[in-house]
Structure 1
Amino acid sequence: MKLYIKNMVCDRCKRAVQQVLTDAGLDVQQVQLGEVIVSEWPAEVSTEQVASGLQANGFELLDDRKTVLVEQIKSIIINEVHHNRRDRPEQQNLSDFLAQKIGYDYSYLSHLFSAVEGISIERYAILQKIEKVKEYLFYGELSLSEIAWRVGYSSSQHLSNQFRQVVGMTPGEFRKVRQPLRTELDKVQESK
């Protein structure tokens, strides 16, 4: 049985979700970002009990198929950007990759994501990439060219331009500020 869980963004989240589900009495087989496979659902375990345990830890049990699709898109992008899990061939664009991986036409996924999240998939991917750039800049271990290459930008100039548009300052200015202006991954969205 597959469960879909919102707000899983890292390995620590996976461990926390596994612990909550195990404590609730479920036999957890596999945990991935946004998805958990359990062997079966025991009769004595209520959905409300599991949902409450997850919610107490900042997660949400999903049951709506559209919300599940949106969370799958987010998980794929987060995995690719933040965890360097690049299942996508270098020459394949994000839209084709998502359509292939999720099994839906990209235009459907795009409209659904925009309707639910209020931003496009492309913008969400850019915002995630900028958060990763902020992390690299904050720790100061890599040059801008190295960061651009690691995050998938064609050049450091492209990265600088996009960074300035999103953050409101250049990467160099951000390094000088040296304060944690980063956003939690599950809260990345367009500023209102």
Structure 2
Amino acid sequence: MDFDTVRNDNVLQPLAGIFPPSAGYARIAKSGSTHISYADITEMISAGDTEAHDLEFKSQIYDASEKSKRLLATDAAAFANSSGGVILIGIVSDRQGRATAMTDVPLGNESVGRLSNIVSSLVSPVPDFRIFPIENPGHSGYGVILIFVSGSSAALHTVKAGQGLLFPKRSGYNVHFLSESEIAAAYRRSP
């Protein structure tokens, strides 16, 4: 997979569900956009966009620790089990979830490929997701990583955790783990 080109090719469709897209998500997915730029992401900082049901900020790239891998898988599965959303890596947020600064992360194929492998290996079934490195024009090889995860009503997405499975779902700007009764109800609603 070639991670050098940053195009959204209209994958950031409006989110299904009862919640309208957040301001930050709408800014990324603005109508007719075929190229997500570093300036678009910088605009989110200036506007004070906040984390929401469809938007998560991470200041640093997920590392190779088991805890960090599980966190990425949980974030991806939670969006897939909800109405979808975007994880932006390289964005610092305050206690209210408001974007306050950017911290460029490495964008090499190794970093981006590792993130893809984590989601593909720890989330089942694998959600529809795409990863877009967005390079800082003033800092070659560094910038922000955008992970778009489509919402899925076809199946519950689980995260492998030790000998068990977790069933995360997005609840506002937090992740909520489904109870046994919520899991059963979700399977009854599945097509």
TM score, norm. by length of structure 1: 0.28
Q: In proportion to residue count, which structure has more strand?
A: 2
Pick the structure with more helix per residue: 1
Greater Rg by CA: 1
* TM-score normalised per structure 2: 0.28
